[in-house]
């Protein structure tokens, strides 16, 4: 069987690689167990894990988008400069890793400004992209897109068109598109990748889905997106996912399963994708695929605020 990228190249499709740059104790799975005030007391492993990711990317000539947590940028500015100097796109992943749908518009704007300032001060690069923690721009928080546009962001990559107990917007368009907002501005949306099976959107190519689901499923899903739908795939993961020996944090069984299961397999699965693939940062995918020429005004008009 040909690899997903071989089929993509034959069909003129380019994929994007992305990394949500955060530490293991920042994640939503532990939000109920760890307060933000306690973050400094945890062993930080974000530098060693991110450097491991950079080594993998350099080995396979992969450039990616790193959605950086502002808190990390403020505490590890040299690391963010290292990522930028390696040729990767630097984007924003909020400051405090709070879900957007739990914030007021004023709180979201404040967090966004704080994060962007920390990230840009760390690396000296203008940030143009945003990804919400836990894909938390959902139907009820689409107002955040207007704030992103007002603050000068070119694109958002927070919408996940799936059903999930924490996030998800199953009725959202599945492919990259421009959204005309009610405030007169526009923004590009780069949703997370899904494959359509039996009338349902199923996730593919990212985080826990890449770790937990069989690689046969991932290969077939990516091939389907490339061949049948002629669309790009957005791969995403976190640096802590290549760290199977990270400290264990006591939490509920669902969160433990989501966070820790098959961490020992993640690096080999990334290598498999990198060996057969050719990836670019999201900002380059936008240019290559002419996303700005594909609007979803009609599709989103009934749900934007």
Looking at the domain assignment, is residue 203 inside a domain? yes
pLDDT at residue 250, as a whole number: 82
Report d(CA 206, CA 20) in Å as an integer. 11
Looking at the domain assignment, is residue 43 inside a domain? yes
pLDDT at residue 141, as a whole number: 96
pLDDT at residue 294, as a whole number: 52
What total number of domains does the chain contain? 1
Task: Record the tokens describing residue 285, joined without a space.
Answer: 């995918």
Looking at the domain assignment, is residue 305 inside a domain? no
Q: Which helix (H) or strand (E) holds 17?
A: strand 15-21
Beta-sheet pairing, 65-68 with 234-237? unpaired
Which residues, given as ranges, of the chain have pLDDT below 70?
1-12, 290-305
Are the beta carbons of 234 and 16 closer than 8 angstroms?
yes
CATH of the domain at 30: 3.20.20.370
**Residue 168 belongs to what domain range?**
4-300
pLDDT, tens only, 230-253: 999 999 999 999 999 999 988 888
Looking at the domain assignment, is residue 207 inside a domain? yes
pLDDT at residue 251, as a whole number: 81
| CA neighbours closer than 13 Å in the CB half-sphere of residue 156 | 28
For residue 167, what are the contacts with CB-CB under 8 A and spacing of at least 6?
Answer: 99, 134, 135, 136, 138, 160
Give, rounded to a whole angstrom, the gap between the first and last alpha carbons of the chain.
Answer: 45
């Amino acid at each position: 069987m040909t690899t997903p990228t071989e089929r993509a190249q034959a069909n003129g499709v380019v994929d994007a690689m992305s990394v949500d740059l955060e530490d293991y104790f920042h994640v939503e799975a532990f939000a109920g167990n760890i307060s933000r005030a306690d973050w400094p007391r945890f062993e930080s492993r974000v530098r060693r894990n991110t450097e491991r990711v950079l080594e993998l990317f350099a080995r396979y000539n992969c450039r990616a988008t790193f959605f950086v947590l502002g808190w990390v940028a403020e505490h590890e500015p040299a690391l963010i400069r290292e990522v930028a100097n390696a040729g990767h796109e630097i984007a924003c992943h909020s400051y405090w890793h709070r879900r957007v749908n739990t914030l007021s518009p004023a709180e979201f704007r404040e967090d966004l400004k704080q994060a962007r300032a920390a990230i840009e001060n760390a690396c000296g690069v203008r940030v143009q992209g945003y990804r919400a923690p836990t894909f938390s721009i959902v139907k009820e928080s689409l107002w955040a897109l207007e704030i992103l546009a007002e603050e000068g962001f070119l694109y958002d990559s927070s919408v996940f068109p799936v059903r999930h107990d924490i996030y998800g917007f199953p009725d959202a368009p599945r492919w990259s598109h421009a959204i005309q907002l009610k405030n007169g501005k526009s923004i590009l949306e780069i949703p997370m990748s899904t494959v359509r099976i039996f009338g349902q959107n199923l996730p593919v190519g990212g985080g826990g889905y890449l770790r937990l689901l069989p690689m046969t499923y991932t290969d077939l899903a990516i091939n389907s997106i490339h061949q049948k739908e002629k669309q790009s795939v957005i791969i995403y993961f976190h640096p802590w996912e290549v760290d199977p020996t990270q400290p264990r944090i006591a939490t509920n069984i669902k969160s433990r399963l989501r966070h820790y299961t098959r961490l020992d397999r993640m690096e080999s699965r990334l290598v498999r994708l990198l060996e057969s693939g050719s990836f670019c940062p999201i900002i380059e995918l936008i240019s290559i695929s002419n996303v700005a020429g594909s609007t979803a005004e009609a599709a989103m008009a009934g749900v934007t605020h």
